[in-house]
Structure 1
Amino acid sequence: MDVLINVFVALHIIGIASLLGGFLTQMKAVGEGAARFGPAMLHGALTMLVTGVALVGLNQADDQTVNNVKIGIKLALLVVILALVYVKRDEERVDKGAFMAVGGLTTVNIFLATVWT
């Protein structure tokens, strides 16, 4: 079971990298007012959602303790991120506030995962 959990952790990290990497590559475009949500950001958020849900299920099936409050907060943040990226994915330009919100919420989600033990 540990190998399967570690595979899903790796996939979850790949999703985070895709979402955050898509955000960071657009930082110059934010200053120019030309930032947009790319497909990598949407796919990264979806990967995070699917693998995160799978990780919770696998950890519970393995009789490991799961902090449901932490998972609930992380899920809520991810749903907001996913909604913003999904709704605005076809727009040629995304306003700076929405774009920065996605980057900020992604960063907060990473810190919740790593700092909150």
Structure 2
Amino acid sequence: MDVLIHVFVALHIIGIASLLGGFLTQMKAMGAGTARFVPAMLHGALTMLVTGVALVGLNEADGNHVNNIKIGVKLLVLVVVLGLVYIKRDEETVDKGAFAAVGGLTMLNIFIATLWT
């Protein structure tokens, strides 16, 4: 079971890398007002959602303690990010506020995951 959990953790990290990487590649365009949500951002957020839910289930099944409040906060942040990216995915440009919010919330999710013990 530990190997399976570690595989899903790796996939979860790949998802966050895709979401954050897509944001970082568009930072220069954000300054120019031409930023858009690239497909990597949507796919990364969806990967995070699926693997995160799987990780909670696998850890519960393995008898590990899961901090449900932390998971709930992370899920709420991710749902907001996913909603913003999904709704505005086809727009040619996205306003700076929405784009910055996705980047900030993504980094918030990383800090919650690593600092909340």
Q: TM-score range by the shorter chain?
A: over 0.9
**Percent of counterpart pairs with the same letter?**
81
2:27 is equivalent to residue 27 of structure 1 = yes
Q: CA deviation at 1:66?
A: 0.2
Q: Which amino acid aligns with 2:2?
A: D
Structure 1 counterpart of 2:63: 63
Residues in 2 aligned to 1:31 and 1:17: alpha-carbon distance in whole angstroms: 22
Q: 1: distance between equivalents of 2:111 and 2:85?
A: 20
The match for 1:47 is 47
Post-superposition offset of 1:45: 0.1
Per-residue CA shift, 1:34-88, capped at 9, x if unaligned?
A: 0000000000000000000000000000000000000000000000000000000
Rounded Cα–Cα distance in structure 2 between residues aligned with 1:31 and 1:20: 17
Provide the TM-score with structure 1 as the length reference.
Answer: 1.00
* Structure 2 runs not aligned, ≥5 long: none
Normalised by the length of structure 2, the TM-score is: 1.00
How many matched pairs?
Answer: 117
Alpha-carbon RMSD across the aligned residues, in angstroms, is 0.2
Residue 83 of structure 2 is matched in structure 1 by: 83
Runs of 4+ aligned structure 1 residues displaced above 6 Å come to none
- Shift of residue 24, structure 1, vs aligned partner: 0.3
Give unpaired runs (5+ residues) of structure 1. Answer: none
Over residues 3-50 of structure 1, what are the superposed CA-to-partner deviations in whole Å (9 max), with x where a residue is unaligned?
Answer: 000000000000000000000000000010000000000000000000
Secondary structure in 1 aligned to 2:49?
A: helix
The yes-or-no answer on 1:92 pairing with 2:92 is yes
